[in-house]
Amino acid sequence: MFNRNQCLRQLAAITSISLVAGCGVLSSGSSDDKGPIVVGTTSAPSTLDPAASWDGSWELFRNIYQTLLSYPSGATTPQPDAAESCKFTDTANRTYRCILRSDMKFSDGDTLDARSVKYSIDRIRKINVKGGPAGLLGSLDRVQALGDRELVFHLNKSDATFPFVLATPAMSIVDPDDYPADSLRKDGKVFGSGPYSLKSYEDGKQAELVTNDHYKGFAQRRNDAVTIRYFQSSAPMVKALKDKKIDVTYRGLAASDVVSLQAHASQEGLELVENAGIEISYLVFNPKDPWAKKPAVRKAIAQIIDRPAIAHKVYKDTVDPLYSMVPAGLAGHSTAYFDDFGEPSSSKARKLLLEAGITGHVPLTLWYTTDRYGSETRPEFEELKQQLEDSGLFKVTLKSRPWKTYEAGYRKGEYQVFGRGWFPDFPDADNFIAPFVGDQNALGTPYPAPQITNTLLPESRRQSDRGAVVKEFQEAQQILVDDARLLPLWQGKQYVAVSEEIAGAEQALDPSTIMMMWELDRKTSW
């Protein structure tokens, strides 16, 4: 493994922030006597097959599938999970070797061996879902399975971030007997090797997780079962928490609910845990649209958007304005958009349009999803519409869809401008630039950026010390600003609201803010 402490030391420090005090005086025990711990979230999976997912489905995958590497509580670099050990075997960071734990099995008792891992990785690339996780494997040339336990990953270029890729839930290990090599599994069943088995699943409603007796890895389960309930918005989720129908919320709390909980949680038998987050929100412009393809239109929008107003008016200061695709807390963060555009200015935006020969109102359609990024999404886009129309330069129409059809729509290029959020695959600046550029990317919208993809990213990936690549990432971000194809809006914080009866919420989020359900426990005594 390589050393990334220099660039993550600040992140490790700020992620310990909590609004909870005195938790250490409690003992805890099994949840047998009160049934499963029930967790609420607004982030439902779009799929149960890892080969199809480069999105929030990972939150479920982390708990039911297993990867070679993952993040034990408190870790900021990947550590062996299904693997016993992993390391680069050369100084160029092009050959990566892993040894599996012995006697590994899937939840149905089938053997998990090196062939299973190779099959799972190869399958992702063979199926090659548009906008899917194959985009994470651009540096992989081939995988070798040597015997039952040894794997060698041969890279086509130096890539010090490859261990982080292997630790993403996209690289979940699946059973070759149950998952087709060239198509997605469609029967709604899951056989993984993670800490839990998926007992039952109702799409968009609920997932029941129970102990996987065959699990071998670093996770030490503090409960025997977890039920995840999926909500459309924050209000019914918080009501369910207050009514003790759920025990924990971990994604999608509305800003108004956060503010209310900050003031009144203890009176309602609840606790609120605040973690520094590296989630970002941004706009994407479709380069095939007659208006969005014009640099002057994109830059005029960038010149008008008032991020502090969004953060304050819509999100009640539970998010921070963001002027860089790389969030604060990671090496490579900058304020490039502010440096180029400064304070919001309609007059500067008008000049940009006039210089491009654009007069009159520019017709603009902004798309957002109704059930993915929290209850403030609609008010946020209403605020964006207001800001743009108040400039006198744009006529804006708002449109929305539920996530599943929304995602399919932007991958087909149906939207002029659309909103996206990004929960990182891993906590490195690379993961806030690489997924969005190139012919195949997480947005399903080709974005050729050869200076970034062919020069700056390869240069940065040769460096194991991730704190030493600030220059490359800042240059890459300046290219993004010059193109204005992506427009960062805000950086979020992560809030977990939890019943006073539940322990472990402070340790339950990994560096990508995915909840490790096994850390949750019921308190048994005061």
3-state secondary structure of 195: coil
Structure tokens at 451: 């200076």
> What is residue 33's predicted lDDT score, i.e. its pLDDT?
53
Q: What is the mean pLDDT of the chain?
A: 90
Please state, in angstroms and rounded to a whole number, the distance separating the CA atoms of residues 522 and 504.
9
Please, are residues 110 and 30 in contact by the beta-carbon 8 Å criterion?
no
Q: What is the pLDDT of residue 135?
A: 83
Q: Which two tokens stand for residue 362?
A: 């520019």
- pLDDT(180) > 80: yes
> What's the whole-number mean pLDDT along residues 257-285?
92
User: Residues 6 or more apart from 269 whose CB is under 8 A from it?
Assistant: 499, 500
Rg (CA), the chain: 23
Question: Cα–Cα distances in Å, from 152 out to 94, 124, 140, 173, 385?
Answer: 10, 17, 11, 16, 51
Place 15 in a pLDDT band, splitting at 50, 70 and 90. very low
Q: Contact 83/101 with Cβ under 8 angstroms? A: yes
User: Rounded to two decimals, what is the model's pTM?
Assistant: 0.77
Q: What is the rounded distance in angstroms from the CA atom of residue 159 to the CA atom of residue 145?
A: 20
Residue type, 461: R
Q: What is the pLDDT of residues 293-331, one digit of tens each?
A: 999 999 999 999 999 999 999 999 999 999 999 999 888
SS3 of 64-82: the string is HCCCCEECCCCCCCCEECC
Answer positive or negative: Cα dihedral of 361, 367, 370, 371: negative
How many Cα neighbours within 13 Å face the side chain of 156? 7
Q: Is 487 helix (H, G, I), strand (E, B) or coil?
A: strand
Written as one letter, the residue type at 380 is E
pLDDT of 7 higher than 60: no
